[in-house]
Structure formats: structure tokens, C-alpha cells
Chains A and B, each alone.
Chain A
Amino acid sequence: MTAHAPGGPAHPAPAGGHPGSARASEALQHQFTDLQQQKEATTLGMWVFIAQEVLFFGGLFAAYAVYRNMYPAAFSAGSHHLSWKIGFANTLVLIGSSFTMAMAVHSAAIGKKKRIVAFLLATVLLGSVFLGVKYFEYGEKIRPCSGDGPYAGCLVPGERFDASAVHLEGDEGRHAQIYFSLYFGMTGLHALHMIIGMPIILGIAFMAWRGRYSPEYHSPVELVGLYWHFVDIIWIFLFPLLYLIGAH
């Protein structure tokens, strides 16, 4: 069935064959024939991973669609207890972090080491701002009922949930718990993805600072970029679905 290639296993020079790409050939893992194959494989791997992430969040989005269709009034009332201004500001912060991430990838492609590091650090900084804001948003809903103010506490689903805080009674008050379950579930899972992503970005920034990446080899920067953009896109969907139900 087979013939053997004459002259032993094919080990062509790394893609591009730059004489100065000794570091790039160091990065070639043993199971690949050349850097081009390695780059294609890792990129496809990240896209497949993102596909499974879409399905992972997809379960929650499906639940959201079903329940919002069943309980529109409770969802609208619940949404009025989020501040769309804070949410919008956070959306801008996150889009900004996507921009700095895109710049980091671009800097890697043209081989500007210091700029890779700076843009990656800026991305982590913006991500931290987002999470900090999220922390205060959560805190507001978790604290005990104050009874006044537009954004009262007691909005965590469960026994301590106080439907009067969202000015709902009876069935609708109970349905609002579903809205807040989804709110915490979806934003919490999104935040968790950022919390996982940020140390990885820091690690890659460190490797960039050590000079591991070159125009020939900078896949890790590109891949973490793909991941980060994906996490941002999830938020682009979450913001209107959770914050902008009904006219505020």
C-alpha cells in the first residue's frame, strides 16, 4: 500500500526559510513536519475550541430564549434593575480591550516586541476594569435589602430573594428569579472566561518580553487573541439581552 519517501523523513526548512529564524525552528514541536503545518493545526484547534464554547454558552442562550418568551413581564422588570449605563460603559471597555488585543497581534506580526507586551498588558488592564465594575454590580444585588433606591439588594435567586425589590407580586415575582438566575449564570460564566484568559495573556506577554515570538512564529499571540475576541463577542450578545429589555 505504501512506498517510502526516498531520503528519509521530509523535514523542510521552517516556512519562509529565514536564516535568522533559529528561534522559530526551536518552537517546532516534534509531531509536525514544519512550522506552517503547526500553525494551521493550532489555529484550527482554537477554532474548534471556540465552536464548543459556542455550544457551551448555547445551552444558556436557549434557556434564555425559552424563558423570556414565557415570562416577558418578569424579564422586563428584572432588566430594569440593571443599570444600562454601567453596562454600556463596560461594553466600551471590553471593545477597547479587543482593540488592544488586535494591536498586540498586529505588533507580533511585524515583530515589535515592546509593543506586543504593552498592548497585552493594556488588554489585561481593561479586562480588570470590566471585572471590577462587575464586582460592584454584583455587590449591589447581593447586599441585603435596603428597601429604597432603584437598584435594591436581595436580587440573588433563592430563599433570600425579595420580589418586592423588583416591584412584582405573586407568580411574576417568582418568575423574576429565573431572570436573575440567568443573569448571574450567564454573566458569571462570561466573567469566568475572562478570569481564565487574563493569566494566560500575562504568560504570553512574559514570553513576548523574553523574545520568544517573531514574525515567523507568534501563534500563541494570535490564538489568545482569538479566544479574547470570542469572549468579547459573548458579552456583545449578553449586554442587550440582559440590560436592554423594554425601554429604560
Chain B
Amino acid sequence: MSTVATYPKDSFLSGGWDLKSWLLTKDHKRIGILYLLSISAMFVLGGLYAGLIRWNLLVPDGSHMSADTYNKAFTAHGVIMVFFFLIPSIPAVLGNFLIPLMIGAKDLAFPKLNLLSWYLYVLGAAITLYALLAGGLDTGWTFYTPYSTVFAQSNVEIAAIGIFVAGFSSILTGLNFIVTIHKMRAPGMTWFRMPLFVWAHYATAIIQVLGTPVIAITILLVALERIFHFGFFDPNRGGDPILFQHLFWFYSHPAVYIMILPSMGVISELITCFSRKRIFGYSFIAMSSLAIAAIGFLVWAHHMFVSGMAVYSAMVFSALTYLVAIPSAIKTFNWAATLYKGSISWATPMIYVFCFLGLFLIGGLTGLFLGNLGTDVHLTDTYFVVAHFHYIMVGGAIMGYLGGIHFWWPKITGRRYSEAWSRLSAVLIFVGFNLTFFPQFMLGYLGMPRRYHVYPEEFQVLNVLSTAGATVLGFGYLFPSFYLVYSLFKGEPAGDNPWGAKGLEWTTTSPPPTENFHQIPVVTEEPYDYAKAPKEKDAV
């Protein structure tokens, strides 16, 4: 390693800062940054709505806002966070930026399509935000019929069209990844030399391509039913609301894996780097991603155990739900084995890895309570469910996202951020997160239903704790926007490989040149051969 890292003269960022060079770019790295900015804006907005929810629940009598406003706030929170933050988060930002770099390609297979998917995302977000801000939406993010089709007076059809458009953004991103991974790998980059991050995105892309069109058509039918008074799900005319739920969850359950699989991919990269050890069980981790994608398509009806399904089909779906826990456990055990006798360092990304491991464990195990027919009847539609999926989506997906952002930030920007501030923020996020959501497990177990505007007084203590936690969590999330932006101007140049990590992305400059590599790399080794890795430059 050279002594002092310098900032490269020639990079994808040096191509200019005028608006045109960004809005018409076909460079996957610039498009990744466009996504980073847009999903961060949506995250802030979704977070503000979460704040409104927690503010209302500070008091039992719902005196802080009307029931109608509350319904619109939790719907907006769900719609924004699910469709406009979590689904695109890691794939569209980190996947976009890193997949071509990791497999030694100059770009994704279809750069124009990549730009188009960003525009579709922005268009979908604009339409949906119009629906949310001009009158609002009160169906919950699940759009259950017949409420959404017959009774709701809010902007259901506009929001439906917005989500429809954004869905195609996700489909095209997945399509681009599948083709890129199949056809754009550098010489020597065989399937089993690919980083696990790429495997995870391959599995994710399959879900995006095969799952998303189903919610697209479903939500289109809801819009058609409202606009033209067609009767797809209207019980008055013999339509079946349960059919809507089946179609909705056929996508929306696998969508959970769109959120968590990329995060698992990030964790695999980080844990092996900061343990200075070859990953344990490479092929098991790779194949378990595919297994999650496959089995994940067969478990959707566990969201509907109390909706009036046949008991036998409920039993089958319950059993299949247990099956999907197996590949998740395979990953977790392999990560734990990777840590064993590793030389572990506590850089910020690694703190997020440990956050992920603990929180995903709790989130995953409480999922078994909900996949079990007996306990699910008691817990359905309570705060236990809310706590469970936040442990997966915030504790799992967002922790992985933040870990990944911190790990690859020096590569993306060529600058190092403040290690002290980033560690502080990671700890705040961890504490705030647990304080917010652990009390919700208790509330749910005690029987507090979700989505209610008021609640009995005996639940107030736990609700106040949760709101206090949300405040800490909110501050924790604010920190990175300051120290990361600060690093852009004042951060030290990162050098090509500040973590001493393996992987093709670390062999090029930081930030990488527009063509990614000055020479197309030829791969001769397995990934994660940390036995031969250079030492981490600045021990942290």
C-alpha cells in the first residue's frame, strides 16, 4: 500500500456537475447516486409520518389528531417506506453502483433502461406524493378491498397508479441485474467466484421480475374498479375480497425478501472483511439466497390465516413458512462461524453487522410465532406484528443498508468520514430502535391492535417508551446526513482500498473512473481469500 492516499484526477465524478450530465447520464454509478438522493428524500418524508404516528400514540385518547388524519399518516408512512424506500434501497443504490464493479463490467447491460427505471421511480413517487398530500390516502399500504374499492373516499386510484409506475422501475432494475450477472462477467469471473452480494442481488432480481408484475396487475384492477366500476373484487357482485388478498400478498410477502436479501448480501461482504477471514460456507450462503427466493413465493397466505381461508390450506402455508426459516438460519450460522476465530475489528460498518445479526435474529424468531397457526390467531393485527416486521425491515434491511453505505462510501465518494461520529450514530440508532420497537412486542402480546387511533390507558407507559425511542432513532438517522456530507468536502482521500478488502471494486480507484476499470480485470481466484489480504491501512 502506498503511504498517502490521493484523490484521483479522473473519476466518474469529474465528468462535471451540471444538471444535464446527471439527468441524462447512463453511468450506473451516477444513477446509483441519483437513487441515493431520491430515496433519502423519501426516507425523511416517511420518517416524518412515523413521527406523526408516534406523536399521536403518546396519549391514549387520540387527542393529538383526528382519527382520519391518523389513518392517513400511517398509510403514508407505510406506502412511502415500503414502495419508495425499502424496495429500491439497497438494490437501486448499492446494487446499481457495485454490481458492474464487482463482476468486472463497464456498466450494467442496459444503461438506458437503468436511467429509465430511475425516471419511472421519480414519476411514480411524484404521482403517489400528489395523492398523499392532496387529500391523502386512508386504506393502509395494503389497499384491502372492499374498503379500498367501494368505501374509501380518499385518493386510492391516483396512489394506485403511482405505485403501478414505480413497480415497473423495480421490474426493470431486476431485469437489468439478471442480464448483467448472466452476460457481463469479466473473464475468469465464474458463478462461484462471484461475491455473495451479487448472488443476493441475483435472487432479489428474480423476485422483482416475477413478483412485482402481480401486484402491478392487482393494483391496476383496484384502480379500474374505482374508475370504471368494474367488479373484480366487489362482494356485491360476487367478487371475492380474499382473492385480492391472495394476489396482493403473492407479491407483498416476497417483497419482504426484496428488502432483506440485498441486506444479507451486504452483511456477507462486511463480516468477512472485518473478521479478516474467508467467509464460512460460501456456497451455502449463495444457494440459501436462491432458496429464500424460491420458498418465499410459497408462503404468502400466512398473512391471511384469519381472513377466512380453508383450514387445510392454512396448515400448508404454515408449514411452508417454517421451511423458509431454514435458509435464513443457514446464513446466520455461517456468519457466526465466519466470526469464530476471526480477527474482528470494530469499524462502523461492522457495528451495523452486529446490529443486524441481533435484530434479525429477534425479528426472524418472532416470525415463527406468526407463522404458527395457533399463536397467530392471538397475535394477528396486533403490535406484535408491527414490532416483528420492523425488526426485519428496520433492524435487518436498514441496518444492512447503513452498514453498506458506510462500507462503500469511501469507494463511492473517494473520501473518508469521521469514524467517531459514525460509531456514535450507529449506537444511537441501535438503542433508539430497540426502545421504539421492543415495547411494541409487549403491547401486541397484551392485545393492543395495530392501526388504532386510541388505546386503553394501561398501555400508555409502553407507548411513551416507544415514542421516546423513536425520537432517539430519529436523531440517530440525522447524524449520517451531516458527517457524510461533511466528508465530501473535508474528508481525507480514501485511497483505492481503505479497508484492505477483497473484491474487484477495491482494485480500481476511489471514486472509480467512468469505465470502472482502466483495463478489464481477469479473475484468477476465489473471493474472500483474506489469508492473503493486505492489512487494513489505518487500524480503527
Residues on A lying within 8 angstroms of B by beta carbon are: 1-5, 8-10, 29-33, 37, 40-42, 44-45, 48-49, 51-53, 55-60, 62-63, 66-67, 70-71, 74, 156-159, 171, 174-175, 177-178, 181-182, 184-185, 189
Q: Residues of B contacting A5 with CB < 8 Å?
A: 187, 519-522
**B232 contacts partner chain A, Cβ-Cβ < 8 Å:** yes
Q: Residues of A contacting B9 with CB < 8 Å?
A: none
Q: Residues of B contacting A32 with CB < 8 Å?
A: 109, 184
**Cβ contact within 8 Å between A181 and B217:** no
**Cβ contact within 8 Å between B243 and A66:** yes
Given A48-B209, A171-B238, does the pair A4, B521 have CB atoms closer than 8 Å? yes
Bound-state Cα–Cα, A105 to B184, Å: 26
**Cβ contact within 8 Å between A1 and B523:** yes
Range of interface residues on chain B?
35 or more
- Identify the stretch in B85-93, B320-328, B502-510 within 8 Å (CB) of chain A at 4 or more residues: B502-510
**Cβ contact within 8 Å between B214 and A185:** no
**Cβ contact within 8 Å between B520 and A70:** no
**B341 contacts partner chain A, Cβ-Cβ < 8 Å:** no
**Cβ contact within 8 Å between B237 and A174:** yes
Given A31-B111, A56-B213, does the pair A2, B247 have CB atoms closer than 8 Å? no
21 A-B pairs in the complex with CB atoms less than 8 angstroms apart:
A1-B502, A1-B529, A2-B522, A2-B524, A3-B522, A5-B187, A31-B105, A31-B111, A37-B184, A41-B110, A44-B182, A48-B179, A58-B213, A59-B221, A66-B240, A70-B238, A157-B229, A158-B229, A181-B230, A181-B231, A184-B230
**Cβ contact within 8 Å between A55 and B211:** yes
- Pick the contact of A44: B104, B107, B179, B524 (CB < 8 A): B179
Interface centre among A29, A31, A45 (most CB of B within 10 A): A31
Q: Residues of B contacting A182 with CB < 8 Å?
A: 232
Bound-state Cα–Cα, A1 to B210, Å: 35
**Cβ contact within 8 Å between B231 and A178:** yes
**Cβ contact within 8 Å between A158 and B228:** yes
- Pick the contact of A181: B187, B214, B232, B504 (CB < 8 A): B232
Within 8 A of A (CB), among B180-214: 180, 182-184, 187, 209-214
Q: Residues of B contacting A55 with CB < 8 Å?
A: 209-211, 213-214
Q: Residues of B contacting A185 with CB < 8 Å?
A: 221, 224, 230, 232
Contact digits for B219-241, partner A, Cβ 8 Å, 1 yes 0 no = 00100110011111000111110
**Cβ contact within 8 Å between B217 and A57:** yes
- Pick the contact of A174: B236, B243, B522 (CB < 8 A): B236
Q: Residues of A contacting B111 with CB < 8 Å?
A: 29, 31
**Cβ contact within 8 Å between A59 and B217:** yes
Interface centre among B179, B225, B247, B503 (most CB of A within 10 A): B179
**Shortest Cβ distance from A56 into B: residue:** B213
**B171 contacts partner chain A, Cβ-Cβ < 8 Å:** yes
Bound-state Cα–Cα, A4 to B230, Å: 61
**B416 contacts partner chain A, Cβ-Cβ < 8 Å:** no
Bound-state Cα–Cα, A143 to B105, Å: 57
